[in-house]
Each structure stands twice: as C-alpha cells, then as structure tokens.
Structure 1
Amino acid sequence: MGVYTKIFLEFPRKFWPTGPGKQFFVYASSRRGYYGMWQSFEQEYPGANVLMVTVTDVESRRIEQQPDNVTMAEAVGVLRNMFPDRDVPDATDIYVPRWWSNRFFKGSYSNWPVGVNRYEYDQLRAPVGGRVYFTGEHTSERYNGYVHGAYLAGLDSADILMNKVLNNVEFKARPKYDDEQKAEEE
C-alpha cells in the first residue's frame, strides 16, 4: 500500500503566480519529500484561493501523526520561503486526509510489487462466500492506483455480479501461470 497525501490549504487571497503554465510549482528542499509538489486550483475553481501540496511515504506518515495546525504552519513556512517577495498570509483552513492512519484503509492506493500477475488480481476481486464482492483500483490489473482503474474495476465487478444474478455464472479466477490456462483449454 502506498501512502500519498494531498493536503489542501485555503487562503484569504491569492499570492501565488497564476495564468497559463503556472498551475504547478515545486519546492526543492534538502529534506526529501518536504512539501515539494504544489498545485493551484484557480483554473478549476476561480476565487477559491486553494492550494494543494502533495507529500508521500515518510512525510505522509509524519504529517498524519501531527495536529493540523502544525502542518499548516510548516506548509505556510514553505510558501514564505518559496515566495520571499510576496506577502504570504496565514492559511484560513486546512484539510489533511489520513488514509494511512485509518484502520480501514492503511494507505492511499495500491502499490503492487514487481512480478504480480493476473492471478493475484483475480484473488482480490473474487467473491467471498458467494455474497461479498470487492472492487476498486487495487483490483484493476492495468490501471491500479488510478481513479479510472477504480471506475473500470467497478464495471468489471458489476459484470461479474450480473452474470451471477442473471445467468448463475460463478466468477472463476484465471490460472496463475499461462501453461495452466492452456491445460484447462485442452
């Protein structure tokens, strides 16, 4: 499971550059992953005065364990370092999702190791007890870790469920190895 945290900060006014080619900006720190990737939402939500900063792995875990006011102070400090010639106000609101700390999630998205094949994906999405079906980006063989992977996996799971309900066709996991598939076909 990967840990990827998108922190949203709202400000009373814009102080960052806007316009074509200025939606994203990067902070280079000697501290790996320290509030590095920033995005403005001015194009999508004009006047919202919202910035998002992305942190991952160790920084995500650290930030999830601290109070939001500490995170807000750190992030605003980074922005003041990034824009020393601008009047950077304090943020008025912050949202820090805590996917890693949540006992039901323990991470933000699947992060499969090298060598995983279709068999493992099928095992994850196979119905349990014939009544419980799982779906999500983690069951998408081609697009795991992405929103469209979750969407496409949902469509696949709906097909599996509908085949069971309408045609009484059970889900069958594909074999782990191609030679098992060939043997089954013969």
Structure 2
Amino acid sequence: MAVYTKIFLKFPRKFWPTGERKQFFVHASSRRGYYGMWQSFEEEYPGANVLLVTVTDQESRRIEQQPDNATMAEAVAVLRRMFPGEDVPDATDIYVPRWWSNRFFKGSYSNWPIGVNRYEYDQLRAPVGRVYFTGEHTSEHYNGYVHGAYLAGLGSAHRQV
C-alpha cells in the first residue's frame, strides 16, 4: 500500500503565478516527499485561492500524525522559500486527508510490485460466501487508479458464483 497525501490549503488571496502553463510548480527538497508537487486550482475554481500540495511516503506518515496547524505552518514556510519576492500570507484553512492512519484504509492506493500475476489478483478478489472484495487494488490492469476501482466494481457486481 502506498501513502500519498494531497493537502489542500486556502489563502485569503492569490500570490502564486497564474495563467497558461502555470498550474503546477515544484519544490525541490533534500527530504524525499517533502511538499514537492504543488497545484493551483485557479483555472478550475477562479477566486477560490486554493493550492494543493502532495507529500509522499514517510512525510505523509509524519504529517498525518501532527496537528493541522503544524502542517499549515510547514507548507506556508515552503511557499515563502519558493516565492521569496512575494508577500505570502498565512493560509486560512487546511484539509489533510489521513488515509494511512484511518483504520479502514491504511493507505492511499495499492502499489503492486513487478511480477505480480493474475493469481494474486484472483486471490484478493475471491468472494468469501456472499461477500465480494473489489476496488482499485483488485484491478489487474488499472490498480492505483479510480477507473480501476470503477471497473473492478462493475466486474464484482456482474460476477456469478
């Protein structure tokens, strides 16, 4: 199971570049997975003043265990380093999904190693009585993706035992 956390931050105003080819920006850090990929939603939701930042692996686990205000402070500090000439305000709101620490999920999406074959997928989706198991993790061709979950769900719904 891979751990991948999308953190949503709302700001009182825009301070980041917008326009064509300016939806994504990257922060390079010596810490793997530390606030690396940023995305603006200005194109989709004008005036929302929302940024999404992705953290991964150990950083996801660490961030899920700390209070949101600590995560907000870290993320804003990164933005201030990324945009040194801008007046970067404090964020006004944050949303941190905690997929890894949620006992019903324990991760963000499956991450199958090379060499997994159809037998392993069949074992995961094998029904136990009238209980069927499905989701992106049972999709042989599209594991880790929403459409893999959708297609696997359709397959389970139409399965005859």
User: TM-score when scaled to structure 2?
Assistant: 0.97
Corresponding residue for residue 128 of structure 1: 128
Q: Which amino acid aligns with 1:75?
A: A
| Bigger proportion of residues as helix | 1
Corresponding residue for residue 15 of structure 1: 15
Q: Which amino acid aligns with 2:25?
A: F
How many angstroms apart in 1 are the aligned matches of 2:138 and 2:33?
A: 28
Q: CA deviation at 1:42?
A: 0.8
Q: 1:1-186, aligned counterparts within 5 Å?
A: 1-129=1-129, 131-160=130-159, 164=160, 170=161
Structure 1 stretches of 4+ with a deviation exceeding 4 A read: none
Greater Cα offset, 117-126 or 18-27: 117-126
Structure with larger RCO (C-alpha < 8 A, sep 6+): 2
How many angstroms apart in 1 are the aligned matches of 2:135 and 2:81?
A: 39
How many angstroms apart in 2 are the aligned matches of 1:13 and 1:157?
A: 46
Q: CA deviation at 1:105?
A: 1.1
Percent of residue pairs bearing the same amino acid type: 88
How many angstroms apart in 2 are the aligned matches of 1:42 and 1:122?
A: 42
Partner SS, residue 7 of structure 2? strand
How many angstroms apart in 2 are the aligned matches of 1:46 and 1:128?
A: 48
How many angstroms apart in 2 are the aligned matches of 1:104 and 1:88?
A: 37
User: TM-score when scaled to structure 1?
Assistant: 0.84
How many residue pairs get aligned? The number is 161
Q: Which amino acid aligns with 2:123?
A: Q
5+ residue gaps, structure 1, are 165-169, 171-186
How many angstroms apart in 2 are the aligned matches of 1:120 and 1:33?
A: 29
Q: CA deviation at 1:33?
A: 1.7
Q: Which amino acid aligns with 1:74?
A: E
Name which one, 1 or 2, has greater alpha-carbon Rg: 1
How many angstroms apart in 1 are the aligned matches of 2:63 and 2:87?
A: 25
- 1:34-76 Cα deviation digits (max 9, x unpaired): 1010000111111111100001101000101110000000000
Q: Which amino acid aligns with 1:30?
A: S
How many angstroms apart in 2 are the aligned matches of 1:32 and 1:132?
A: 39
How many angstroms apart in 2 are the aligned matches of 1:4 and 1:30?
A: 18
